[in-house]
């Protein structure tokens, strides 16, 4: 899949005759585009539904919306929703395969898969790999999916972030959690920053962007604590100078651009597995 | 009409009875209890191998009428009560409109009497419109027959309003049934904050949302000398606050619900909205604390918080689904199975929590099988397990987390004022 994407032969037909719908209840640029391109590269018919432009705005329930799409012979419905468990809910009512493109604070499995693909390429495997995930862990579906998958693959996962943005009892998932992010980054082979929603500040979860960056931002100085060949990842979009300094984002350890490429490839693979002939 | 219940194991904690006896009922009251009673004119009910106890009294139900009859009405709620062995219920006033005046109190009680399957009592609101602004006309509510006041479903937001309510209601000997919750701490949460909320990616409700509010309210009760009944207690620290205030002599009583001693937040796994209620299911530590508090008397009563909802209001995203579960048709079974069969309480203690103490909290002459008392009676089986099936419920609400559970304590017969209102097929 990656070869197809990189070599420019972006027209497979393994999903020709299949219809793939993206049903997005939250704003998204890259994830939606990534899925849409993945569908098209594989020859599927792709259509988008943005929640505000549909009957959802008229008060239709999620289940009814999903049933309606299903009745139009969709093969795959890709859903993003602000409520945790929304994909799980509609999967009980549809014949189409459901792909979770991010549900609330719960999971974002294809993001985790593209992260794993990137780590595999750069680090060659997961046994003994130390992955530090730093930032707003509490509200992060990316963090949760990464934790579940990385633990399964045999990596060591450490989390870092302010106490107000660390979920309750997170260590019961088999990870270490630090509020001193230097300790989280120390010796890490992979340092992953998480996006900070700036509106969290208004809710009092951290006092200011300035203080956040000072204590929890990943800069070149802090990166020296990581393994010498550590890579830096971020699910995007990045708040430059907040969770990562500009120098780190654009630095030679950053693999953020490749993550995006791998995102398309991984989603092609997922769609092919679910709907391919 | 005369009724003779033969050979039942009578549990009547108020009169210290715990043995096999016969019970003769005439003209709606208990005529006599004893061995080998005979009466030629009476209909005979054989209760061999069964428990015979005073009818259950549920301090906390939502019958949804007026306004939300699509969820439940007083008739279907009464049928559910009768099937669950519950002969007296206290309706919460968060209907539409809310019950904040005497006319609505009388409407609810009259409907209950017309239907005649359970004694339907009701609370009135603490504040007008349940808006936490001004006190409702508590004197008028009392005169119309309300047995207490409550803004249940919502907390009284202002501490000073709660203080005034405690002061004012005392004059009318009206208990305040308090839904004590700090909404600021709830902060949009939809289940207990802990490992499970982290695992499911759902916003958590900290235990302090309950314990902080309960602490406030018990201190206000202590200061004013007012009568406070704390509803649906679910956390260890709220229990500790109640225990300490009781020790200091405050006039406080408390209830918990069957789900708080039988389930934990693990029941929410798979985004199970039938395990979503407020307060939310907690963890093992809290379940243990609730059981201990029932055993040591800190928690006086078990009430269901019977909260029927339409299927469409539950079959939603977890954070969008409404709070609440039905309980009238499973409360006795859950109590027998999780408290008595496990040796935490005796059957007699369970009947105290589900009948004797609720009667005394309300100040009504029930919860007893004494001679001359109203013949409100439940007959149930403690020996043979049965399987819960929500589709057999009389309630319109099928929103129960106990569907498919195997329970002991199946109700066989319910008698209200000497009349059989439920008889198992």
pLDDT at position A139 over 90: yes
pLDDT at position A9 over 80: no
Distance from CA of B232 to the nearest CA of A (A): 24
Q: Across-strand partners of B378?
A: B53, B414
Q: Nearest to residue B246, comparing CAs of B216, B222, B230, B211?
A: B222
Across the interface, of B201, B312, B320, the residue whose CB is closest to A106 is B201
pLDDT in tens, B99-153: 999 999 999 999 999 999 999 999 999 999 999 999 999 999 999 999 999 999 9
Do A98 and A118 belong to one domain? Answer: no
Q: Nearest to residue B156, comparing CAs of B123, B175, B185, B181?
A: B181
C-alpha–C-alpha distance, residues A38 and A42, integer Å:
6
Indicate whether A194 belongs to any domain: yes
Do A229 and A161 belong to one domain? Answer: yes
B358 — pLDDT class (breaks 50, 70, 90): very high
Do A130 and A176 belong to one domain? Answer: yes
Do A57 and A181 belong to one domain? Answer: no
Indicate whether A255 belongs to any domain: no
pLDDT in tens, A237-250: 999 999 999 999 99
Annotation says B305 is catalytic? yes
Q: What are phi and psi of A226, to 5 degrees?
A: -75, 175
Do A237 and A130 belong to one domain? Answer: yes
Chain A, nearest residue to B193 by Cα: A168
Do A102 and A113 belong to one domain? Answer: no
By the CB < 8 Å criterion, does A106 face chain B?
yes
pLDDT in tens, A63-98: 999 999 999 999 999 999 999 999 999 999 999 999
C-alpha–C-alpha distance, residues B65 and B72, integer Å:
7
Chain B residues with at least one Cβ partner in A under 8 Å: 193-195, 197-204, 270-271, 312, 315-320
pLDDT in tens, B240-278: 999 999 999 999 999 999 999 999 999 999 999 999 999
Do A130 and A237 belong to one domain? Answer: yes
pLDDT in tens, B47-91: 999 999 999 999 999 999 999 999 999 999 999 999 999 999 999
Residues 6 or more apart in contact with residue B376 via CB below 8 angstroms: B54, B55, B87, B88, B119, B366, B415, B416, B417
Q: What are phi and psi of B8, to 5 degrees?
A: -85, 155
| pTM for the predicted model, two decimal places | 0.95
Mean pLDDT, chain A, whole residue set: 94
Q: Are B68 and B99 in contact, with CB atoms under 8 Å apart?
A: no
The pLDDT value given to residue A203: 86
Contact assignment for B201 to A63 by CB distance below 8 Å: no
**Superfamily holding B55-362:** Metal-dependent hydrolases (3.20.20.140)
Indicate whether A21 belongs to any domain: yes
Q: Quick one: tokens of B141?
A: 């509510």
Across the interface, of B193, B199, B201, the residue whose CB is closest to A104 is B201
Across the interface, of B193, B200, B316, the residue whose CB is closest to A84 is B200
pLDDT in tens, A43-62: 999 999 987 655 566 688 99
**Superfamily holding B2-51+374-395+404-423:** Urease, subunit C, domain 1 (2.30.40.10)
Average pLDDT over residues B373-393: 98
Q: Which residues of A touch B315 (CB under 8 A)?
A: 63, 89
Domains in chain B: boundaries: 2-51+374-395+404-423, 55-362
Share of chain A above pLDDT 70, in %: 97
Report the CATH number at residue A190.
3.40.50.1370
Size of interface A-B (CB pairs under 8 A): 61
By the CB < 8 Å criterion, does A83 face chain B?
yes
Domain of A78, in residue numbers: 2-106+260-275
Share of chain B above pLDDT 90, in %: 100
Distance from CA of A138 to the nearest CA of B (A): 8
Do A126 and A75 belong to one domain? Answer: no
Q: Nearest to residue B77, comparing CAs of B46, B108, B31, B55?
A: B108
Do A120 and A239 belong to one domain? Answer: yes
B28 — pLDDT class (breaks 50, 70, 90): very high
> Considering its fold, how many domains does chain A have in total?
2
């Amino acid at each position: 899949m990656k070869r197809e994407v990189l070599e420019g032969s972006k027209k497979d037909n393994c999903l020709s005759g299949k219809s793939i719908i993206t049903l997005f209840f939250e704003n998204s640029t890259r994830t939606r585009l990534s899925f849409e391109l993945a569908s098209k590269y594989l020859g599927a018919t792709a259509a988008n539904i943005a929640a505000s432009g549909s009957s959802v705005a008229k008060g239709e329930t999620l289940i009814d919306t999903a049933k309606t799409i299903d009745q139009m012979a969709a093969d795959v419905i890709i859903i993003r929703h602000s409520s945790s468990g929304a994909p799980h809910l509609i999967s009980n009512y549809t014949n189409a395969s459901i792909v979770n493109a991010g549900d609330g604070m719960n999971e974002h499995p294809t993001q985790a898969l593209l992260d794993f693909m990137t780590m595999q390429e750069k680090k060659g495997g997961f046994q003994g790999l130390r992955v530090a995930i730093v930032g707003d862990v509490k509200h992060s579906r990316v963090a949760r999916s990464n934790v579940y998958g990385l633990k399964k693959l045999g990596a060591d996962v450490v989390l870092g972030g302010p106490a107000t943005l660390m979920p309750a009892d997170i260590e019961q998932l088999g990870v270490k959690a630090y509020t001193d992010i230097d300790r989280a980054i120390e010796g890490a082979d992979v340092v992953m920053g998480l996006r900070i929603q700036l509106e969290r500040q208004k809710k009092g979860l951290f006092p200011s962007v300035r203080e956040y960056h000072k204590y929890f931002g990943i800069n070149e100085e802090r990166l020296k604590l990581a393994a010498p060949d550590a890579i830096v990842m971020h699910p995007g979009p990045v708040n430059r100078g907040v969770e990562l300094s500009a120098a780190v984002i654009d630095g030679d350890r950053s693999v953020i651009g490749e993550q995006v490429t791998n995102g398309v490839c991984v989603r092609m693979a997922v769609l092919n597995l679910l709907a391919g002939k | 009409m005369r009724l003779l219940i033969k050979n039942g194991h009578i549990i009547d904690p108020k009169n210290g009875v715990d043995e096999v006896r016969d019970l003769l009922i005439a003209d709606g009251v208990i005529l006599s209890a004893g061995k080998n009673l005979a009466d030629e004119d009476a209909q005979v009910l054989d209760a061999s191998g069964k428990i015979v106890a005073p009818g259950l009294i549920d301090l906390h139900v939502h019958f949804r009428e007026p306004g939300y009859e699509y969820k439940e009405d007083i008739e279907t709620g009464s049928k559910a009560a009768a099937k669950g062995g519950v002969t007296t219920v206290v309706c919460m006033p968060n209907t539409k409109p809310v019950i904040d005046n005497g006319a609505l109190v009388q409407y609810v009680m009259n409907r209950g009497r017309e239907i005649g399957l359970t004694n339907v009592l009701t609370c009135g609101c603490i504040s007008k419109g349940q808006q936490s602004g001004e006190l409702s006309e508590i004197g008028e509510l009392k005169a119309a027959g309300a047995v207490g006041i409550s803004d249940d479903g919502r907390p009284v937001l202002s501490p000073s309003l709660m203080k005034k309510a405690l002061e004012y209601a005392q004059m009318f000997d009206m208990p305040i049934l308090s839904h004590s919750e700090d909404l600021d701490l709830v902060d949009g949460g939809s289940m207990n904050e802990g490992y499970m909320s982290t695992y499911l990616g759902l916003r958590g409700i900290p235990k302090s949302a309950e314990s902080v509010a309960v602490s406030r309210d018990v201190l206000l009760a202590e200061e004013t000398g007012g009568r406070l009944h704390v509803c649906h207690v679910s956390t260890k620290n709220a229990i500790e606050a109640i225990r300490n205030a009781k020790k200091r002599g405050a006039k406080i009583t408390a209830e918990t619900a069957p789900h708080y001693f039988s389930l934990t937040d693990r029941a929410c796994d798979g985004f199970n909205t039938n395990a979503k209620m407020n307060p939310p299911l907690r963890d093992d530590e809290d379940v243990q604390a609730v059981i201990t508090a029932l055993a040591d008397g800190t928690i006086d009563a078990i009430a269901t918080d019977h909260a029927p909802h339409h299927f469409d209001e539950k079959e939603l995203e977890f954070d969008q689904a409404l709070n609440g579960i039905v309980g009238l048709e499973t409360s006795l079974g859950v109590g027998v199975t999780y408290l008595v069969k496990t040796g935490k309480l005796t059957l007699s203690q369970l009947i105290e929590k589900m009948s004797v103490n609720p009667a005394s909290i309300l100040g009504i002459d029930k919860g007893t099988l004494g001679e001359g008392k109203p013949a409100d009676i439940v007959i149930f089986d403690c020996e043979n397990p049965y399987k819960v099936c929500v589709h057999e419920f009389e309630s319109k609400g099928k929103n129960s987390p106990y569907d498919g559970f195997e329970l002991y304590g199946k109700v066989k017969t319910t008698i209200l004022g000497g009349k059989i209102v439920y008889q198992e097929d």
